[in-house]
Amino acid sequence: MLIEYINKAFGNTLFECQKELESVLEGWLIVKIRHSDTLPVIDHPDINTGIPQGIEAHA
């Protein structure tokens, strides 16, 4: 779940927290896309239509 990833974003300064959160969210997105999961839509845009379904992503 997304909140589990967000809870992993820690740092000694606000800047460190922001950079860690950015990294954690990026990792979460990669996992979701690799598993062909839908991404949450918050307002707009819905980027789920641009994600190939059933295709294994390679890192």
Condensed to tens digits (0 to 9), the pLDDT of residues 1-56 reads: 666 666 666 778 888 888 988 898 899 889 988 888 888 887 877 877 766 665 55
Q: Roughly how many angstroms between the first and final C-alpha of the chain, as a whole number?
A: 22
pLDDT at 42: 79
Torsion over CA: 48, 51, 53, 59 (sign): negative
Taking residue 51's Cβ as centre, other Cβ atoms within 10 Å add up to 14
- For the chain, what is the HEC assignment? CHHHHHCCCCCCCHHHHHHHHHHHHHHHHHHHHHCCCCCCCCCCCCHHHHCCCCCCCCC
